[in-house]
Amino acid sequence: MAWYNKDEIKKFIRKDNSILVVWDVQEALVNSIFNKEEFLQKLKEIISAARQYNVPIVYTKITPLPERFQPPYMRRSFNPGDIVKDVYPQGSDVVLNKNTTSIFVGTNFELMLRNAGIQTIVFTGIATDIGVETSARHAQALGYLPVIAKEAVSSSDKEAHERSLANMSKLMLVLDNKEIIERWSS
């Protein structure tokens, strides 16, 4: 059971105060998830709706530091590849290169939100149980309204993905695309 009234909180999701985050939808990660086709279909759906309702879109991209500056426990080579072509950024979409599991650490994301008057952050992407949850919790701690688009997040670990959605639903909105898009369209 959640500590909040879901219907009351949903009223704060509006196209004029929202941003869509597409978290680390890069080739190697997309190829590792348990529900690739369904995930990509739902992600395309919510990206299309964001464009239709003029909701800004920010893509994150894993960008490792030079090896010498990586923490010793992370000095293995991992190339996540580029953002997948099916949902590639367009026009005024923003791509944030980042080095951590929080969108707020080492980026100018919070400054962008403040400058644009954005209060609601809709999270999509990979991995639900790592960067999506970390960033959503961080957003909430900073006073933003995090919303998880539950059909447009995924992980290579289905059980961890489901646990993460269950945990987040106790603290924040975890909604179907339909519910989010309905709020943007009103």
Q: Domain limits of the chain?
A: 24-66+79-185
Q: What's the CA gap between 180 and 186, in Å, rounded?
A: 10
Please say whether the beta carbons of 137 and 171 come within 8 A: yes
What is the pTM assigned to this prediction? 0.95
pLDDT digits (tens, 9 = 90+) for 20-63: 999 999 999 999 999 999 999 999 999 999 999 999 999 999 98
User: How far from chain centre, in Å, is Cα 59?
Assistant: 8
Task: Evaluate if residue 74 carries a pLDDT over 80.
Answer: no
The two three-digit tokens of residue 31, written as one number:
């190829």
Q: Which of 72-81, 102-111, 137-146 has the lowest mean pLDDT?
A: 72-81
The reported pLDDT for the residue numbered 79 is: 83
The CATH superfamily holding the domain 24-66+79-185 is Isochorismatase-like (3.40.50.850)
Task: Evaluate if residue 77 carries a pLDDT over 70.
Answer: no
Task: Evaluate if residue 78 carries a pLDDT over 90.
Answer: no
The reported pLDDT for the residue numbered 87 is: 97
Greater confidence (67 vs 167) lies with 167
Amino acid of residue 155: S
Q: What's the CA gap between 48 and 42, in Å, rounded?
A: 10
The reported pLDDT for the residue numbered 4 is: 67
CA distances from 135 to 36, 104, 112, 140, 159 (A): 22, 7, 15, 9, 20
The two three-digit tokens of residue 50, written as one number:
């964001």
pLDDT digits (tens, 9 = 90+) for 135-152: 999 999 999 999 999 999
Q: Place 76 in a pLDDT band, splitting at 50, 70 and 90.
A: low
The reported pLDDT for the residue numbered 35 is: 98
Q: Using the 8-state DSSP alphabet, how is residue 174 labeled? A: E
The two three-digit tokens of residue 20, written as one number:
């869509």
Q: Place 120 in a pLDDT band, splitting at 50, 70 and 90.
A: very high
Greater confidence (99 vs 104) lies with 104
Q: Place 91 in a pLDDT band, splitting at 50, 70 and 90.
A: very high
